[in-house]
Chains A and B, each alone.
Chain A
């Protein structure tokens, strides 16, 4: 770690600099060793975190998320039965539970987006962006815009909150009825874990850099 004078930074070409998106601290962008992370000294935001085979992992995990999401919306999710009455609900039923009418319909639209559409769309966007990079090809048309969308949508992907919501709901229901778990429940739980790990580990800087250099 050398003590570069502040004026030196201004002399560098702009594409060798990196500014912390959270606190605007300016650094010279240096790729740290594989597996280690460059962190903002002032606010500790992770700036660069290269991994070996990062693109391949991203592709495999994103594909897994897509497959699991398709499974999670098709297979039975949860079921209850009490005193001879039983009911099953799929993930889609759960999301569309507010479709009774009026303003509540809007809430169903939000829930469908937060727990199904946005997580799925983000996985597809990452595939679209990263697949050509893995093969060393030029990025597809609009790859930068696609990655930008994926980043902007990040806070609105709420699959992990939904699965914790399931845990809370099931404790409430357990008093009332017997609960059955369908295959979709486990698929959804798995896709939550993958999505969260992927978001934590993704090295955004490397992807932006690759998109800039190859297109």
Chain B
């Protein structure tokens, strides 16, 4: 790749607008990519508003996801309801520490970490921050890559509920937290997708100027 050596220039500073889907560049002002059809925006000014909107509904959905039961388990005449955290604690007390850790990481650590990370990224494009652009971009990469994996608990509930239908011997049904948790994951994925990471790099990390 032949580029500008150590001084990397951005398409924006060269008066060009880049397509984020197919990497083609066009003259500034063009509305949509003539190669792949994606809408073009040198910097997506509406993106931060969308990020905050999706993030807010994502966080709101995460609250009932932790308060209501995720699973309703019935073994013989014993019926129990578990929230996400109760389910993980129960697994841990039965000795399945590794599985309990996977559930806690996927359903608690990742979503909460993601709320904080997306919020931080959105705040940090608007004002100078301690973290360098490279580190912030890495954070964005991690959020984008790892966020989808929170869905694992929803699939676990789906598999358990489909599989464990053994008459009165044992049955598992999904609880209302399954839907609110899934919605929380979907909304925060939209928040991450809405974020325009090119803004991290503008003006040496101080954020883009409008104009």
The judgment on whether A and B are partners is yes
Q: Known: A6-B4, A24-B201, A94-B159. Contact between A82 and B35, CB under 8 A?
A: no
Q: Which of B141-160 contact A (CB under 8 A)?
A: 141, 144, 148-149, 151-160
Q: Report whether A106 and B5 are in contact in the complex, using a CB–CB cutoff of 8 Å.
A: no
Q: Does B170 contact A (CB under 8 A)?
A: yes
Q: Which of these binds chain A: B9-17, B51-59, B112-120, B123-131?
A: B9-17
Q: Report whether A30 and B2 are in contact in the complex, using a CB–CB cutoff of 8 Å.
A: yes
Q: Does B206 contact A (CB under 8 A)?
A: no
Q: Which of chain B's residues have a CB closer than 8 A to the CB of A87?
A: 163-166
Q: Does A26 contact B (CB under 8 A)?
A: yes
Q: Does A208 contact B (CB under 8 A)?
A: yes
Q: Does B179 contact A (CB under 8 A)?
A: yes
Q: How large is the interface on B (under 10, 10 to 19, 20 to 34, 35 or more residues)?
A: 35 or more
Q: Does B99 contact A (CB under 8 A)?
A: yes
Q: Report whether B35 and A169 are in contact in the complex, using a CB–CB cutoff of 8 Å.
A: no
CB proximity of B23 to chain A, nearest CB, Å: 5
Q: Does A43 contact B (CB under 8 A)?
A: yes
Q: Roughly how many angstroms separate A20 CA and B164 CA in the complex, as a whole number?
A: 48
Contact with B along A78-111 (1 / 0, CB 8 A): 1111110111010001111110100110110011
Q: Which of chain A's residues have a CB closer than 8 A to the CB of B134?
A: 42-43
Q: Does B162 contact A (CB under 8 A)?
A: yes
Q: Does B178 contact A (CB under 8 A)?
A: yes
Task: Pick from A21, A89, A158: contact of B163, CB below 8 A.
Answer: A89
Count of chain A residues with a beta carbon within 8 Å of a chain B beta carbon: 85
Q: Does A4 contact B (CB under 8 A)?
A: yes
Q: Which of B97-139 contact A (CB under 8 A)?
A: 99, 102-103, 134, 137
Q: Does B47 contact A (CB under 8 A)?
A: no
Q: Roughly how many angstroms separate A183 CA and B169 CA in the complex, as a whole number?
A: 26
Q: Which of A136-172 contact B (CB under 8 A)?
A: 144-145, 147-148, 151-152, 155-156, 158, 161-162, 164-166, 168-172
Smallest Cβ-Cβ distance to A37: which chain B residue: B1
Q: Report whether A89 and B169 are in contact in the complex, using a CB–CB cutoff of 8 Å.
A: no
Q: Does B26 contact A (CB under 8 A)?
A: yes
Q: Report whether B3 and A28 are in contact in the complex, using a CB–CB cutoff of 8 Å.
A: yes
Q: Does A190 contact B (CB under 8 A)?
A: no
Q: Which of these binds chain B: A7-15, A54-62, A65-73, A119-127?
A: A7-15
Q: Roughly how many angstroms separate A26 CA and B28 CA in the complex, as a whole number?
A: 14
Q: Roughly how many angstroms separate A152 CA and B22 CA in the complex, as a whole number?
A: 11
Q: Report whether A39 and B155 are in contact in the complex, using a CB–CB cutoff of 8 Å.
A: no
Q: Does A52 contact B (CB under 8 A)?
A: no
Task: Pick from B3, B20, B186: contact of A41, CB below 8 A.
Answer: B3
What are 19 A-B pairs with beta-carbon distances under 8 A? A9-B14, A17-B16, A21-B20, A42-B201, A78-B163, A85-B166, A94-B159, A107-B154, A107-B178, A144-B36, A148-B21, A148-B38, A158-B155, A161-B151, A165-B153, A165-B155, A171-B99, A175-B94, A204-B22
The 4 lowest CB-CB distance pairs between A and B, nearest first, are A165-B155, A19-B18, A3-B5, A169-B159
A→B interface (CB under 8 Å): 1-6, 9-10, 14-15, 17-30, 32, 38-39, 41-43, 47-48, 78-83, 85-87, 89, 93-98, 100, 103-104, 106-107, 110-111, 114-115, 144-145, 147-148, 151-152, 155-156, 158, 161-162, 164-166, 168-173, 175-177, 204-205, 208, 211-212
